[in-house]
Structure 1
């Protein structure tokens, strides 16, 4: 499943896919596949992204409009 808030928050903060891939310890190609919905996000990856951007996992998953 593709979650638009993940890509949006990355782009809003001028972070590249390569930088996110490094944060998650995956290849840029794998990160791209996460972002496009070709492979499912892991809980660990979602938590790392939420912590990095100081937002809730629910926000990343489009379950809440509020970032916290």
Structure 2
């Protein structure tokens, strides 16, 4: 599930929910709901997280298990 991936990525990069929420310009509670799967994460947030973590949106969305970003 993509909500588990965004939590795992955040933890792997030693970031707090507050830091990621600030990066996305969100309240921490809104971001927490994305991580827990309570709210659907919007496309713009998936794109920004993929940029931050240098991975693909497909990885975050669970469409692939390869975290490598696409080649330009």
Q: Report the TM-score when normalising by structure 1.
A: 0.92
Contact 1:34 1:40 in 2 (8 A): yes
- Provide the residue aligned with 1:18 in structure 2: 18
RMSD: 1.2
2-structure distance, mates of 1:2, 1:52: 16
Q: How many residues are aligned here? A: 68
Q: 1:67 to 1:2 in 2, by over 3 A?
A: closer
Contact 1:50 1:56 in 2 (8 A): yes
Larger-Rg structure:
2
Moved >4 Å (runs of 4+): none
Give structure 1 stretches of 5+ with no counterpart: none
Give structure 2 stretches of 5+ with no counterpart: none
Q: Report the TM-score when normalising by structure 2.
A: 0.88
**Structure 1 residue 54: deviation in Å?**
0.5
